[in-house]
Amino acid sequence: MTISSSLNAGVAGLNANAARLATISDNIANSATFGYKRARTDFQSVVVQGGGTQGIYSAGGVRATTSRLIDQRGPLISTNNPTDLAVNGRGMLPVTPGIAVDNNNGTLPLMLMTTGSFRPDSDGTLRTESGQVLLGWAANPDGTIPPLPRDTTAGLQPVNVNTNQFAANPSTEVRLGINLPATGTRADSNGVTQELSVEYFANLGTSESLHMTFEPTVPATGSSNEWTMTIRDSASDDAVVGRFVLGFDDGPTLGGTLSSVALAPGGPGTAYDPATGRIGVQVEGGRPLEIDIGELGGRFGLTQVSDRFEPVLVSKNGAPVGNLVAIDVDAEGFVRALYDAGFTRTLFQVPLVDVPNPNGLIPLSNQAYRVSVQSGPFFLWNAGDGPTGAMVGYAREESATDVAAELTQMIQTQRAYSSNAKVIQTADEMLQETTNIKR
């Protein structure tokens, strides 16, 4: 009977609008929840009988389906925590439940978040208050990220920032800007050897020295324009680690610049590279250290003019042992430790996870998601590469809820619910009238 179908359609309308009110309630309740994605209820008509020649129609009612709009992003706001992370664009942060890390059973299920407030726990592992642990690729000792597969979580591990509370930054390069006296290589010179001590930092952060001597070659007549550079290492008991013969130009155009650099016969050291203007020595048990003395014909580095020995510029990289004072995450997802000695060290790189259909992800509590068949397979991108956006530290993503729009939809839903209730009331009255015919 069509009146009964009207009752069923009214009930379906009540259920559908109740479901819509539930999603609206969730959205409004989470309007201040960081990273919340708005839920939406859509209605689809149900056709039981589309009419016929006899004018009979049976109401099918309505069916409600709910979905979560994960691809919609909320605005970013600034915070004062460097490990508050958000994504400016597409892509999600890889996380895993803290209980999986604590159990240490080797299995770390992949979960995704668009934003999170990560802080180190007692072990230094970055996790949120809800227990989500941030995942990343661990850097090599030199700060590089090893090549790892991008379609699996095999290389991901919990990001821990307490493994480098103290660190040394050994020197790898020394730059010399020194002028040698041109008068020192003339026949009438007294052959004074020039000396210089240059500090560098060893593997353990200790301060060591390279003792350099520049001995002129004094000819019988004229000028040789040649010096022998000897380098001794304090960390190797002042052993000679390099000996080089330096030649200087005395022409009108390139006068005073390096014209040749060669290893002294039988002397240690790494041959001069004319492309970079560097020589090399091995210090502290064989560790290589490059010394920039300038390019041939160049005005920077070692020169020979005038009659004075002048160390114009002597510098080195590296630093002594430093204490970890801060953690920073840059736009490419590199997690770097900042030390009070003035250097930084790369600890991890946090990739961004992307799937073909973000709205197909399975939503979980605490604004986390899991990959599903509907979302498609995941891929790990460097932040800013491919379709992904940049990673933003000191930032959180606000809720994607528009409260004004939700309140408007609430009014519409209330009216629709009342109208369906009226349909049921009317159908009941009609059935009552039908029952009264028999009386």
The model's pLDDT over 349-385, given as tens digits with 9 standing for 90+, comes to 999 999 999 999 999 999 999 999 999 999 999 999 9
Contact present, 180 and 293 (Cβ < 8 Å): no
Residue with tokens 């001597």: 213
Q: What is the pTM of this model?
A: 0.76
pLDDT at residue 334 in the model:
97
Q: What is the pLDDT of residues 252-261, one digit of tens each?
A: 999 999 999 9
Domain count within the chain: 3
Contact present, 146 and 137 (Cβ < 8 Å): yes
pLDDT exceeds cutoff 80 at 439? no
The better pLDDT of the pair 273, 52 is held by 273
Alpha helix (H) residue ranges in 61-124: 98-103
Q: What is the pLDDT of residues 90-122, one digit of tens each?
A: 999 999 999 999 888 778 999 999 999 999 998
Task: State whether 220 and 267 are in the same domain.
Answer: yes
Contact present, 330 and 349 (Cβ < 8 Å): no
Q: What is the pLDDT of residues 116-155, one digit of tens each?
A: 999 999 889 999 999 999 999 999 988 899 999 999 999 9
Could you report how far apart the first and last alpha carbons of the chain are, in Å? Answer: 20
Contact present, 90 and 384 (Cβ < 8 Å): no
In whole angstroms, give the CA distance from residue 103 to residue 91.
Answer: 28
For residue 249, give both structure tokens. 């130009």
Mean pLDDT over all residues of the chain?
A: 92
- The length of the chain in residues reads 439
169-197 as b/e: b if 16+ CB within 10 A: bbbeebbbbbbbbbbbbbeebeeeebebe
Q: What is the pLDDT of residues 48-59, one digit of tens each?
A: 865 555 667 788
pLDDT exceeds cutoff 80 at 438? no
Task: State whether 409 and 390 are in the same domain.
Answer: no
Task: State whether 326 and 308 are in the same domain.
Answer: no
Domain boundary, last residue among 302, 317, 332: 317
Q: What is the pLDDT of residues 393-421, one digit of tens each?
A: 999 999 999 999 999 999 999 999 999 99
Domain boundary, last residue among 317, 352, 380: 317
Task: State whether 305 and 418 are in the same domain.
Answer: no
Task: Please give the residue range of the domain that contains residue 14.
Answer: 2-69+400-438
Task: State whether 232 and 361 are in the same domain.
Answer: no
